[in-house]
Amino acid sequence: MVRRPRNRLAPGRRRAYPSGVAGPDDEVLERLRAASGLSIDREGRFLHRGEPITHARTLEVLWRSLTRAPDGRYLVRIGRESGYVALEDAPYAVRGLRDDGGVVELQLSDGTRDRLDPATLTVDAHGVLHCVVKGGHRACFTRAGQIALGLALEEDPPGSERYALTLGGSRWPIRRE
């Protein structure tokens, strides 16, 4: 019986590729991540190659794994795999809201709720409202979300095409981007 020499790894470590097989280099991995075909549209829907993803469990995994890379791009990480997500506008969308006596709770596209920080409200050149959610992530308001919040907005001053939100006795001007 001939014994073959073993390449030993530290305890608890696994070899990613068989001995003698080189793994993909960083440039190849980066191109693969960029070609994921994943995107999020203005309505906060995950798409793959332009088609909406509708499977509930798949969406749950994608939303749960969405992260911001150090360079500011968004990606999903599932296990050892990752892919960049193209954004039509923002990673999250505000689909609705609930006003509990001066505290506005936003219903976000990933199914979670977050409290509105009125100081972060802005309006872009197309008239779309945005805010900051989840500790620093940009969110755009969907049509339904914008209509719901729009009922609480007032032109300030009248005729100026500038708006403000009054919550809990405080007035918050909506900044232009």
CA distance 155 to 135: 29
The pLDDT score that the predictor gives to residue 42 is 94
Is 80 exceeded by the pLDDT of residue 7?
no
- CA-to-CA distance for 85 and 62, rounded, in angstroms? 10
Name which of 42, 79, 78 is nearest 59 in CA terms: 78
Per-residue pLDDT of 73-123, as tens digits, reads 999 999 888 999 999 999 999 999 998 877 899 999 999 999 999 999 999
Supply the pLDDT for residue 108: 97
* pLDDT beyond 80 at 14: no
DSSP 86-133: EESS-SEEEEEEEESSS-EEEEETTS-EEE--GGG-EE-TTS-EEEEE
Note the pTM of the prediction, 2 decimals. 0.81
User: What pLDDT was estimated at residue 22?
Assistant: 58
Residues 6+ apart with CB under 8 A from 168: 101, 102, 103
| Cβ-based neighbour number of residue 137 at 10 Å | 16
pLDDT digits (tens, 9 = 90+) for 45-71: 999 999 999 999 999 999 999 999 999
Write down all domains in the chain, each with its CATH number in brackets: 26-87 (3.10.540.10), 92-176 (no CATH)
